[in-house]
Structure 1
Amino acid sequence: MTAPQPPQQPAFAQAPQPGQPGMPPQQQWTGPAAPYVYVSPIPVRKANLGDALRSEWTKIRSVRSTLWTLGVMLVLILGIGLLAAGVVSGTDTELDSDASPLGLGFFGVLLSTICVMTLGVLTISSEFGTGLIRTTLTACPDRARVLTAKAIVFFLLTFVLTLVATTLVAMFDSAMLADQWDGEFTGAAYFKATVGVSLFIATLGLVALAVGALLRHSAGAITVMLGVVLLPLVVAMFMFGESLEKVRKALFEYSIPNQLAVFYGTDASEAASGPTGWEPLWIVLVVAALALGGAYTSLVKRDA
């Protein structure tokens, strides 16, 4: 009779030793189980901003809110801009030198700010509402990197789409109304009505993103941003006293609609003593920097 054999231990393949072929040079085997460890075929490296950018781009393009808000934004800019030019071209109205056809794109862009601000808020506040922010911060513990990636992806996306839309409106409006306008189109006017407007709108969206990070509530942050755009004009309209004339004038001149009108060179913006030229862009850049600074501080110090 054969004696019972002891149970066999599971066989382990000996891991390649440092310096042998097949071992990644950056991995070192330490500890008592060093000769028998699992070697992952995936290279190990430290995450960087590029990884965060790819993650945020995947998230922002895969949610329905991005498609709807940016789709409505394009419809408003293109639809209202081209419709206004079509109505004017269908009449015998002669435009004087101060009423540039490029200014007809103002109304569509002004309405589109609601879409841009809404998307800016939802870019980060929706993650707080669903709890996805915990997963995001677990995958990328560097909270400043997360907010930076969100801001870069959102800014570039809105800037490019706004630039394409405003450029198309400027080209078609100037072509349709060239015979009815006795002025001259300049490169500077085109540049401000396209690139300048797009930078202003995208930066205003960054302010909305920062407010969303501070409040962490979609409805509340969107309400605050709508108040920033509309409240100064509404308050100014009810200031009738002479003692409040300076305050009333400042509210009109530094309101978002009037600052946006500066890029189109309308009569109201030229006659006002408020911001001119590229000053509205510098103003909104300073506001965005302050708001993002508060958002960084809030995200780093507060719990998710």
Structure 2
Amino acid sequence: MIDTVVLDPNRNVPRVREHPRFGATLHAEWIKFWTVRSTRWSLGLLFLLGAGLTTLICWAAVGDIATGETGESPASFLTWGLLFSQLTALALGTLVVTSEYGTGMIRATLAAVPRRGSVLLDKAVVLGGVLFVAGVVTAVAGYLGGNLFLENEGVGVALSDDGVLRALLGNGLYLAGLGLFALGLGLLIRHTAAAITIGMALVLVLGNLAYALPGTWGEWVAKLMPGNAGGTVAQIVPFEGSGFTPWTGFAVFTAETVVVLGAAYVTFRRRDA
């Protein structure tokens, strides 16, 4: 005779632990993001370089700008600080990942959130959101500070002028994109100095050197470099007139960033922490 086992419905049965919800993991990533001192230093430097240098260059060169000796539109100088603020966006995006690998914190992160796609998504949302807001605030501050000197010389640029609002919003979009681009590089390389160096080389150094390449193919290589393609959306009047239109360039830059993040995700899933 076979005994029948009856399970007591009131008995406490251990449950399998559910994966953390997106809101909980996002909040944890937010706390982690702001507890690192490099975050505040990077964002402070981003604002100082972006808004401070824009205001400074407008003050220093306002006479030449007003007389046309610079050969550029006055509006070009109202986003001048972007050239330097993008460096801090690259650095911050890299450090979000590589600092965890450097300290071994990534093991604790993956133990708490085993789904690596969720980890990458949380980091991307927090980093992109913060850099977007910081970029817009920096661009507005730089515009207000620099335009004050231009207006005193009668060459000010109004918010309603063509491309101004787009550039202020675009500054946030571009810096957020750069941060995500650097995030992908950080996951691929997992070494802070190497990832920052490669990111700066792709965005700044090679982007400028590409203009020296001969022929039509050289022009296209220059257009397709991440900094040249994406940066036009953050400029009221670009210094270089041979690139893509602002939104087309940003679309190209977005596609490049997605490719880098996709490769980073695949690598992130396959590698050990």
State the TM-score bracket (shorter-chain normalisation): 0.7 to 0.9
TM-score (norm 1): 0.76
CA distance in 2, matches of 1:144, 1:133: 14
Q: Matched residues, percent identical? A: 29
The answer for the alignment partner of 2:245 in structure 1 is 276
The answer for the alignment partner of 1:51 in structure 2 is 24
The answer for the alignment partner of 1:5 in structure 2 is none
For residues 61-115 of structure 1, give each alpha carbon's deviation from its aligned partner in whole angstroms, at most 9, with x where no partner exists: 111111221111111011111111212346683359x954332133311111111
1:95–1:181 Cα contact (<8 Å) kept: no
CA distance in 2, matches of 1:269, 1:279: 15
The answer for the alignment partner of 2:4 in structure 1 is none
Instruction: Decide whether aligned partners of structure 1 residues 68 and 99 sit closer, same or farther in structure 2, where only a CA change above 3 A counts.
Output: same
The answer for the alignment partner of 2:38 in structure 1 is 65
For residues 233-264 of structure 1, give each alpha carbon's deviation from its aligned partner in whole angstroms, at most 9, with x where no partner exists: 23543x4xxxx322332344344554424542
Which structure 1 residue ranges, 5 or more long, are not aligned?
Answer: 1-16, 19-27, 32-43
Letter in 2 for 1:215: I
- The 5 A counterparts of 1:1-304 are 18=10, 29-30=12-13, 47-89=20-62, 93-94=66-67, 99-178=72-151, 179-181=153-155, 186=160, 188-229=162-203, 230-237=205-212, 239=213, 244-256=214-226, 258-259=228-229, 260-261=231-232, 263-266=234-237, 268-270=239-241, 272=242, 274-304=243-273
Instruction: Decide whether aligned partners of structure 1 residues 184 and 168 sit closer, same or farther in structure 2, where only a CA change above 3 A counts.
Output: closer
For residues 26-49 of structure 1, give each alpha carbon's deviation from its aligned partner in whole angstroms, at most 9, with x where no partner exists: xx6149xxxxxxxxxxxx975211
1:170–1:193 Cα contact (<8 Å) kept: no
CA distance in 2, matches of 1:57, 1:289: 22
CA distance in 1, matches of 2:236, 2:224: 15
1:102–1:193 Cα contact (<8 Å) kept: no
Deviant stretches of 4+, over 6 Å: none
Instruction: Decide whether aligned partners of structure 1 residues 299 and 155 sit closer, same or farther in structure 2, where only a CA change above 3 A counts.
Output: same
Letter in 2 for 1:266: V
More off after superposition, 167-176 vs 208-217? 167-176
For residues 114-164 of structure 1, give each alpha carbon's deviation from its aligned partner in whole angstroms, at most 9, with x where no partner exists: 111111011011111211111000011111101100010000111101110
CA distance in 2, matches of 1:117, 1:300: 23
CA distance in 2, matches of 1:290, 1:81: 32
CA distance in 2, matches of 1:104, 1:94: 14
CA distance in 1, matches of 2:63, 2:176: 33
Higher helix share: 2
2:56–2:146 Cα contact (<8 Å) kept: no
Which structure 2 residue ranges, 5 or more long, are not aligned?
Answer: 1-8
CA distance in 2, matches of 1:78, 1:289: 28
Instruction: Decide whether aligned partners of structure 1 residues 222 and 29 sit closer, same or farther in structure 2, where only a CA change above 3 A counts.
Output: same
The answer for the alignment partner of 1:13 in structure 2 is none
Higher radius of gyration, 1 or 2: 1
Letter in 1 for 2:217: V
Instruction: Decide whether aligned partners of structure 1 residues 88 and 185 sit closer, same or farther in structure 2, where only a CA change above 3 A counts.
Output: farther
TM-score (norm 2): 0.84
The answer for the alignment partner of 2:5 in structure 1 is none
For residues 165-204 of structure 1, give each alpha carbon's deviation from its aligned partner in whole angstroms, at most 9, with x where no partner exists: 1012122333431342287653552222210121012101
